[in-house]
Amino acid sequence: MRTQKYLHIGLIILISSSFLYGCGDNQSKEKQTIQKIKSFKQATTLKGLVTDDKGRVKQGELTATNAKKQVIATTIIQDDGYYKIDIPAATSLPLLLSVSFQSNEGKTQELSAAVVYTSMTKFDINSLSTKIAKKAKSLGGYTHANMMLSAESMVDMPDDNKTTQGFRGDPTKQYGGWH
Q: Answer whether residue 174 shows pLDDT above 90.
A: no
Strand partners, 109: 101
Q: Answer whether residue 39 shows pLDDT above 50.
A: yes
Residues 134, 112: Cα–Cα separation, whole Å: 9
**Among the listed residues 89, 90, 140, the one whose alpha carbon sits nearest the alpha carbon of residue 114:** 140
Q: Answer whether residue 125 shows pLDDT above 90.
A: yes
Residue 46: predicted pLDDT = 98
Mean pLDDT of 93-120: 93
Residue 154: predicted pLDDT = 81
Please give the residue that has the higher pLDDT: either 163 or 41.
41
pLDDT digits (tens, 9 = 90+) for 135-155: 999 999 999 999 999 998 886
Mean pLDDT score of the chain = 79
pLDDT confidence bin for 159, thresholds 50/70/90: low
Bin 164: left if φ > 0, else alpha if -120 < ψ < 50, else beta.
alpha
